């Protein structure tokens, strides 16, 4: 990996550490206040929060990979074959990004073993029980937040002009995890930024293979359509 995009990944990682560290002291009060919001707000967030699950993202992108591969293999139309190839690489980018994020999240959860807000009365906000193999001790980082961080992060890499919308979507699901009492704010920040970091890292890998992305003069992966100013 060359220095420019290695530096970009380093700064995302550094921002993650700084933001999480800054939020940790406020975790108890922010968590309690979020859970104490009016019932209508809590109910709304309970309805949207499960959008951020790895399973449906991985399965759907996996099915798209299979479908695109089949079309590419059986089609005799050159245009259709080219489009299927692009769809295959797009699906593969989402699949690998989300799958890698899931693996990292579950590894960190196991190593850290932070007690969830449901155990606040018993253990407080800073109780760590590494290798507990218990969902009640898997608060850090937030898996749902990491999933949407990877999902919307991948979209933001592919469609930079729409990044504000993708950011809002990711933040909504992340905040919902605090409101429903599943995570502390620092868990959510860590999850969102871990997902984003993975999306950027995989975009760099794809750019080196000349798939979907090209590295600009600063080493940042940009969609090939933007870099070439023409469709792939």
Q: What's the total number of domains in the chain?
A: 1
For 74-113, how does the pLDDT look when each residue is reduced to its tens digit (9 = 90+)?
Answer: 888 888 888 899 999 999 999 999 999 999 999 999 999 9
Q: Is residue 65 part of a domain?
A: yes
Q: Is residue 148 part of a domain?
A: yes
Q: Is residue 113 part of a domain?
A: yes
Residues 6+ apart with CB under 8 A from 132: 113, 138
Query: Which residue range forms the structural domain that includes residue 155?
Result: 3-119+130-227
Q: Which residues of the chain have pLDDT under 70?
A: 1-5, 226-232
Q: Is residue 184 part of a domain?
A: yes
Q: Is residue 107 part of a domain?
A: yes
pLDDT for res 3 = 60
CB 185 within 8 A of CB 178: yes
Q: Is residue 232 part of a domain?
A: no
Coil vs helix vs strand at 68:
helix
Q: What is the pTM of this model?
A: 0.91
pLDDT for res 11 = 81
Q: Is residue 125 part of a domain?
A: no
Q: Is residue 124 part of a domain?
A: no
User: Residue 8: which CATH number?
Assistant: 1.20.144
Residues 6+ apart with CB under 8 A from 74: none
């Amino acid at each position: 990996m060359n220095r420019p995009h290695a530096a970009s990944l380093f700064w995302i990682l550094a921002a993650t550490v700084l933001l999480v560290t800054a939020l940790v002291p406020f975790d108890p009060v922010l968590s309690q206040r979020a859970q104490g919001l009016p019932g209508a707000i809590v109910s709304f967030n309970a309805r949207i929060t499960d959008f951020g699950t790895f399973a449906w993202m991985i399965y759907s992108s996996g099915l798209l990979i299979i479908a695109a591969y089949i079309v590419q293999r059986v089609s005799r139309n050159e245009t259709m074959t080219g489009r299927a190839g692009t769809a295959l690489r797009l699906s593969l980018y989402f699949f690998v990004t989300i799958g890698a994020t899931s693996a990292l999240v579950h590894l960190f959860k196991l190593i850290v073993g932070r007690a969830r807000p449901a155990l606040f009365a018993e253990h407080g906000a800073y109780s760590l029980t590494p290798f507990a193999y218990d969902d009640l001790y898997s608060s850090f980082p937030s898996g749902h937040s990491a999933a949407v961080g990877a999902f919307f992060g991948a979209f933001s890499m592919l469609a930079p002009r729409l990044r504000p919308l993708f950011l809002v979507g990711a933040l909504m699901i992340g905040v919902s995890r605090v409101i429903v009492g599943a995570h502390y704010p620092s868990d959510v920040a860590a999850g969102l930024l871990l997902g984003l970091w993975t999306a950027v890292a995989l975009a760099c890998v794809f750019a080196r293979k000349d798939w979907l992305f090209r590295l600009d003069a600063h080493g940042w992966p940009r969609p090939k359509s933007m870099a070439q100013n023409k469709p792939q």
